[in-house]
Structure 1
Amino acid sequence: MAKTKELSKDTRNKIVDLHQAGKTESAIGKQLGVKKSTVGAIIRKWKTYKTTDNLPRSGAPRKISPCGVKMITRTVSKNPRTTRGDLVNDLQRAGTKVTKATISNTLRRQGLKSCSARRVPLLNPVHVRARLKSAREHLDDPEEDWENVIWSDETKIELFGKNSTCRVWRRKNAELHPKNTIPTVKHGGGNIMLWGCFSAKGPGRLIRVKERTNGDSEYTIDHNVLLQIDMLLHYLD
């Protein structure tokens, strides 16, 4: 069926004005060149809603009911690593057949997005409290103090393949919530350990650390720290 051309806002307003002036639907239609049925529909809408504007259209009904939306939202909130396939199966068992794309769109409307899980150091409660205490103690330190600090860390790089990855459903700014992260440890086979440091002056050298730190690797790390200290002192001078 061919679509009919929508009447302009001015024409719809004229129909209402002529109706209020006492003209019949037939007379209005002949004067404006509009079908009588269209004139009647516009007048009925104006009487009901007191407007000639287009009303919001409901569109196609949602595939997932409000109860279903609550169910899958609750599921991924408890376990952010739940896959779309798992949710499709859960809904199918409840009598609702949907696609993975529908799952993604539904969760996105709930403020949940599929993101790669952040990798963070594996910390126990003691570590967490100590780090939080240190952060609070230095919260108001001036910028000049941080220019005297050397930062160092080590990382593990897989020699074959890559570190396992997973995706989580999370809300904005929730990437560091424990449920949305992957704890990491600094050991394991089939990889190399790298150590480095940096300061306000710039980065230090990147060195390889053997699996078990021995005298040679400790000397190399200490030497690298000393080089960075020299760079920092030269920068401050």
Structure 2
Amino acid sequence: MPPRRKLNEFERGRAVAWFQDGVPKQEVARRLHVSISVIVRLIQRFTATGRVQERRRPGRPKKTTPREDRLIERLALQTRTASSSIIRRQLRVATNTNISQQTIRNRLHGFNLRSRRPAVRPRLTPAHRAARRAFCRRHVRWTRQQWSQVLFSDESRFTLNHNDDRLRVWRRQGERYIDATVQENVAFGGGSVMVWGGFQPSPQNTIVSCTG
């Protein structure tokens, strides 16, 4: 199911324009990554009022202006690993606006930015990349019988300490593997247990072995 979020004014205008051009509501919802009910309510409101803006709702007014909201988004995108407390301090220095960390997170959620663990990849030099391409070219035509003679292995880390020093990054849906949200590593640090495992494919079965 698409994530629950509010469309901004630009997205609401695009949704109405697509609908008027004959795009089905389901397709409009898919393009904007929202539930179909969000598009249905938007079209109903536009049909009744001719406007895409939401009705003013009673309650506590927002503590930030649209300009401050855009600044919060920009700060998170400039430094994906910045925590909500760091963004809060930066905003206070820049605009003298004092808001809570939860408000920072709420604004970023409104821009479809969520705090997630970064994808991890090994740090590859040009020599590493060239060697991997050469390996692929040498083995691209290997048969299943040839691969059955190869032992594939991998390793995982199990942290013993409460603080594993892992980062979190702000990212939108579909941004898991972009460079700004990926953490490169060379080797694991201390305070952890390494578990190694390997498997060897064969025509009949798979052999698995593990060691700590």
Q: CA deviation at 1:97?
A: 2.9
Counterpart of 1:184 in structure 2 is: 185
Q: Which residue of 1 aligns with 2:81?
A: 81
Unaligned runs of 5+ in 1: 1-49, 209-237
- TM-score, normalised to structure 1, is 0.51
> Does 61-70 or 105-114 show the bigger shift?
61-70
Verify the 8 A CA contact 1:158 1:192 in the aligned structure 2: yes
**1:112 is matched with which residue?**
113
Deviation at 1:207, TM superposition (A): 1.9
Deviations 1:46-78 (A, max 9, x none): xxxx9699x951236543222212222221112
Contact 1:156 1:186 in 2 (8 A): no
2:208 is matched with which residue? 204
Shift of 1:151: 2.4
Distance between the aligned counterparts of 1:160 and 1:51, measured in 2? 58
| Alpha-carbon separation, structure 1, partners of 2:174 and 2:134 | 23
Distance 1:107 1:136 in 2: 41
Query: Matches of residues 22-61 of structure 1 in structure 2 within 5 Å?
Result: 56-59=54-57
How far apart are 1:99 and its partner, in Å? Answer: 2.1
**Deviation string, structure 1 residues 159-186 (Cα, Å, up to 9, x no partner):** 5445322211011122233332333333
Deviates more, 1:152-161 or 1:77-86: 152-161
Q: 2 CA distance for matches of 1:80 and 1:113?
A: 10
Q: In the superposition, relative to structure 1, how do residues 172 and 199 fare at CA in structure 2: closer, same or farther (>3 Å)?
A: farther
The Cα RMSD (Å) is 4.0
Larger Rg computed on CA atoms: 1
Shift of 1:127: 2.8
The equivalent of 2:164 in structure 1 is 163
SS of the residue 1:91 aligns to: helix
Structure 1's 202 and 59: CA in aligned 2 closer, same or farther, altered over 3 A? Answer: farther
CA pair 167-145 structure 1, distance change in 2 beyond 3 A: farther
Distance in 2 of aligned mates of 1:117 and 1:198? 27
Paired residues for 1:88-127 under 5 Å? 88-93=88-93, 94-127=95-128
SS of the residue 1:205 aligns to: strand
Cα deviation for residue 199 of structure 1 reads: 4.4
What corresponds to 2:22 in structure 1? none
Percent identity, please. Answer: 25
Whole-angstrom distance in 1 between the partners of 2:56 and 2:175: 33
> Does the Cα contact within 8 Å between 2:84 and 2:101 map onto a contact in 1?
yes
